[in-house]
Amino acid sequence: MTVSYTLLGLLNEADRHGYDLKQSYDRRFGTARPLRFGQVYRTLAQLERDGLVEVVGVEQGAGPDRKRYSITPDGVTDLERWLSEPEDPRPQLQTVLFTKVVLALLSGQPADEFLERQRQRHLAVMRDLTTARRGAALRDSMLIDYQLFHIEADLRWIDHAAGRLDTLAAEI
């Protein structure tokens, strides 16, 4: 869903070809996970089907024709609505960590050792991100800060869970 709105936002800035959209997306948002070309064109097809973008030109080249896309007034309205709505927190990783702790306790595995390994993994990623942040441009630095803050929250939860393993084990 976010990819759709990101492409709408990029088209709101200027009309673009699919290739240009992918390059702009990757440069601004995809440093950690670039967008696949297939996803760009599938998303554009869905947005066109829904009346949120339209083809405003076709250019011929050595390969397939290049369609130039533009955001429609309905697309602008939908983008503005999406931008104005706050997002619900999504603690997907914490859910996975919690599930692993419970399953470790249920199966007699050492949940405290799992939590310690997870803590060490989080700290290693945190060190790598901190190193990468030192020479990063502001937009990349802000994305890294976002990731670091989430890792810090995960680390607080890991410490909290480690302190309550005996109680949780008795409860389950």
> Does residue 80 sit in the same domain as residue 97?
no
Q: Are residues 58 and 98 in the same domain?
A: no
Last residue of a domain, which of 84, 117, 141? Answer: 84
pLDDT of residue 89: 53
CATH no. for residue 61?
1.10.10.10
Amino acid 87: pLDDT: 59
pLDDT score at 110? 81
* Three-class SS state of 60: coil
pLDDT by 10-residue block (mean), the chain, 172 residues = 83 90 83 83 96 91 82 92 68 65 74 86 91 90 91 91 88 74
SS3 of residue 122 by DSSP: helix
Q: Express the helix, strand and coil content of the chain in percent, nearest 5 each.
A: 70, 10, 20
Tokens of 69: 């896309």
Whole-number pLDDT of residue 15: 94
One domain, residues 126 and 164:
yes
> Please, are residues 42 and 25 in contact by the beta-carbon 8 Å criterion?
no
The reply to whether 77 and 135 lie within a common domain is no
Closest CA to 64 of 46, 37, 43, 39: 37
Q: Are residues 35 and 65 in the same domain?
A: yes
138, two tokens: 């502001």
Residues 18 and 59 in one domain: yes
Give the model's pLDDT for residue 92. 58
**Which residues form the domain of 108?**
92-171
* Model confidence pTM above 0.75: no
Residues 65 and 17 in one domain: yes
Whether 6 and 77 share a structural domain: yes
DSSP result, 123-148:
HHHHHHHHHHHHT--HHHHHHHHHHH
Distances (CA, A) of 81 to 77, 99, 110: 6, 35, 47
For residue 45, what are the CA distances in angstroms to 6, 82, 83?
15, 20, 22
Considering the domain architecture, whether residues 96 and 78 belong to the same structural domain is answered as no
pLDDT at 159: 94
Q: Provide the number of structural domains found in the chain.
A: 2
- Domain C-terminal end among 33, 55, 84: 84
Same domain (yes/no): 43, 18 = yes
Helix (H) or strand (E) holding 163: helix 138-163
Give the C-alpha separation, 21 to 34, whole Å.
Answer: 12
User: d(Cα 39, Cα 43) in Å, to the nearest integer?
Assistant: 6
Domain check: are 14 and 31 in the same one? yes
Residue 33 confidence (pLDDT): 74
**Shared-domain flag, residues 6 and 63:** yes
Q: Which of 20, 53, 84 is the last residue of a domain?
A: 84
How high is the pLDDT of residue 53? 96
